[in-house]
Amino acid sequence: MIGRGGRDLGGLPGTLAGLAGELREGAVSPVEATEAALGLIEERDGELNSFITVTPERAMEVARRAEREIRAGRYRGPLHGVPLGLKDLIPTAGVRTTMGSAFFEGHVPGYDAAVVEKLEEAGAVLVGKNNTHEFAYGTTGDRSRFGPVRNPHDTSRISGGSSSGSGAAVAVGLVYGALGTDTGGSIRIPAALCGVVGMKPTFGRVSKRGVFPLAWTLDHVGPLTRTVRDNALLLSALAGHDPEDPYSVRRAPEDFARDLGRGVRGGVVGVPSGFYFDGLDGEVAERVAEAIGALRGLGVRTRPVAVPLLRETLDAQRLVLAAEAYAVHAQRLRSEPERFDEEVRERVAAGEALLAHEYAVAQRTKLASLRVFDRALEGVDVLLAPTVPLPATEIGQREVRIAGREEPVRASLNRFTGPTNLNGLPSLSVPCGRTASGLPVGLQMVGRPFDEATLYRYAHALEQAAGV
């Protein structure tokens, strides 16, 4: 198992950045790194179920090519020769892509998603496809045609959805990073519950071309990694305008790791009152308070901020998701409803009853939410909040009691993440400690549009200070 830092028993670096440096210098070869990843997947993934499809022959072929290129002085950058995983919602030409569903159980696309093209251009070694909640329509990660993904910290518990396999595989060190998708929290939720770093970039920052949709106006693609620096390196390779994606925004390329060494002394962060701290598990509240205290110890000032309309924003996000998911799946629901997972089928079917004016109002709420967050971010660099209100629940558990109140697990998990899917603001989950039973807790940082570099700077400072 590869740790968050240092080296594993085989001598390989424990971070993407560390491995990249040794690959570039020739101290480690892409073949060695890929063989190690494939060996770990074979050894550990039977317990976790984080991969649906593994591609050893294809991965080794790419690794050998990367080794030849690096030896010949044709180094492509920090992803060259690095083993990575892909959520099985992201098509790869010639490799089975299932969406975690019986509908696509044997589906082999003939094209690559745009993000796959980006990773291949960067020389990354894609070792397989990570398990996902069926059609990415769930926060728990335990409803897949291929079985539930298990949390590496307690295999009786969920890893979080819908990028469940990506979060678990990164947490246990099977790969150095993985891509997920995020429509209501599906990158940040597994990042928080598995104890890794997960970024939902600004809407339009990363191309969605080719990725199977859940909700067109809410979907984001982003990276999960073990460290903040690794995450910034991966996003730097993924970001960029794509004229074939109608949602893609034209922005110049960026090095998102450029400010990690600047520190945060003298900075100001906003801590929202209400909503994000209501109905919160006691240990989660403690760990988040400790993380905020750690930032204060680094010379950061905290400021209470008001963020109105959060409940309305969350309700609007959930309505848009239900309406658009129904539009995506309506034909499948009419023709072969029995092929859906029962829970997913019920969620898809619920979208049929929504009215056009409700969708229109929800879209107007998006504009109001952007204005609200813009005001909340005046005079502060980032907003801080818990990523999710509770630690990982049991696999199959559907109700939970938090702060004396019963609520559905599914709704609880995306209560704090959903708002920024509606308004598209960048949101990063970074580990901020563990509960007494060893379950990870995540801190969410929200920033201005296209200001991912600032989120990474604060998250890196916390990571270094807290040693999480």
Active site residues: 87, 162, 186
Q: Which candidate, 159, 123, 143, 182, places its Cα nearest to that of 45?
A: 159
Buried b (16+ CB within 10 A) or exposed e, 100-133: bbbbbeeeebeebbbbbbbbeebbbbbbbbbbbb
92 Rama sector, left if φ>0, alpha if ψ -120 to 50, beta otherwise: beta
| Integer angstrom CA distances of residue 18 from 92, 176, 261, 307 | 27, 10, 16, 39
**Euclidean distance between CA atoms 49 and 56, whole angstroms:** 17
User: Would you tell me how many other CB atoms lie within 10 Å of the CB of residue 199?
Assistant: 33
263: exposed, middle or buried (Cβ count in 10 Å: 0-12, 13-18, 19+): middle
Tell me how far apart the alpha carbons of residues 51 and 276 are, in angstroms, rounded to a whole number.
Answer: 33
What's the CA gap between 206 and 200, in Å, rounded? 10
- What lies within 8 Å, CB to CB, of 220 at 6+ separation is 181, 182, 183, 187, 200, 201, 203, 205, 206, 208, 421, 424
Q: Are 73 and 37 in contact (CB under 8 A)?
A: no
Q: Compute the residue count for the chain.
A: 468
Q: Which of 385, 397, 211, 247 is nearest to 314 (CA)?
A: 385
